[in-house]
Structure 1
């Protein structure tokens, strides 16, 4: 039995990953990322270069949907350190048979779930509890000149946000284009 439980989606690329936790009377321990376990699970070879954390005080806080354009595109490995989030990835790769389709997962501090978001996907999440803390690895540093986004409530993406009437977000995230107007910088190889 592997050290990771990996669930694939109908949209190729993203994966839900749950590391094994080892518990005793004191609590538990787990390796949140290990290159050998990653390879044994058949996950893509990604060289992580930066770790990020974000804190959101209020439930309903929405961050996204963001991406970075090539050549500074980012893959992400997202997990919730405190609280609970609804995490989403939308395929924005031109020529993909699943272009515009989304995958989602609930990530919790209690469960330790992680979402792998490959390059070519817009990513975002909404907090479901008070005082959520999220950590994520990326394979390229933040590059503001490469930043882009997709409108969080785009009907074509079909995302069923758990708190659509309680959204708290930054102003810029209200202004990203929808799929119909997005000039995606990504193409299927």
Structure 2
């Protein structure tokens, strides 16, 4: 596997080795030893799978307690996957990284704990799968509004009225409000 650095050093793009022929392909998506050697020391407790249609935007989600590290990948379709650093002490606090993940490029993204996470489906449909380092705790889940001007994520959205968001994500808080809550809870 190849580990690709991003502009936020703790966020990693993982390019697995894919072995294919006319029958199909094989790839290893998790190997504890290889990931530890790459600096990703994770113990996973939960796997999730979501399916979404084009223009669905999920996020930006995070948990104020029990933060989850995530190893994310797309097994059908394509998404723009985005993470925002919420570590108050980090020199990259408030910065974001985005990467296109698809069934064709087989890339995975390591999202460390204490990051907000979201994705936009750019194909007709997408299956998004991810491993989590802590259990989902709905009482601690929060959402930052996807288009917060302080973060300025470049989603590449030309027709905002075609976006599909949950009610929770439409009511996401500002980055400034999230920062205040993180300061209080730390």
Q: TM-score, normalised by structure 1?
A: 0.91
After TM superposition, give the deviation of residue 163 of structure 1 in Å: 2.3
| 2:118 paired with 1:124 | yes
Cα deviations by residue, 1:59-99 (Å, 9 ceiling, x for unpaired): 110000001122x1100111001000000000111132111
SS in 2 for 1:54: strand
| 2:23 paired with 1:43 | no
Moved more, 99-108 or 172-181: 172-181
Asked if structure 2 preserves the Cα contact closer than 8 Å seen for 1:69 and 1:186, the reply is no
After TM superposition, give the deviation of residue 44 of structure 1 in Å: 2.0
What is the CA RMSD across the aligned residues, in angstroms?
1.7
| 2:81 paired with 1:84 | no
Aligned residues: 182
> Is there any run of 5+ residues in structure 2 with no aligned partner, and where?
none
Q: State the partner residue of 2:55.
A: 60
Q: Structure 1 residues 117, 184: closer, same or farther in 2, change over 3 A?
A: farther
Cα separation, 1, equivalents of 2:69 and 2:136:
11
After TM superposition, give the deviation of residue 184 of structure 1 in Å: 4.5
After TM superposition, give the deviation of residue 156 of structure 1 in Å: 1.2
Q: Structure 1 residues 8, 143: closer, same or farther in 2, change over 3 A?
A: same
Q: State the partner residue of 1:142.
A: 136
Aligned pairs for 1:98-177 within 5 A = 98-163=92-157, 165=160, 166-177=162-173
- Structure 1's consecutive aligned runs of 4 or more residues displaced over 4 angstroms after TM superposition are none
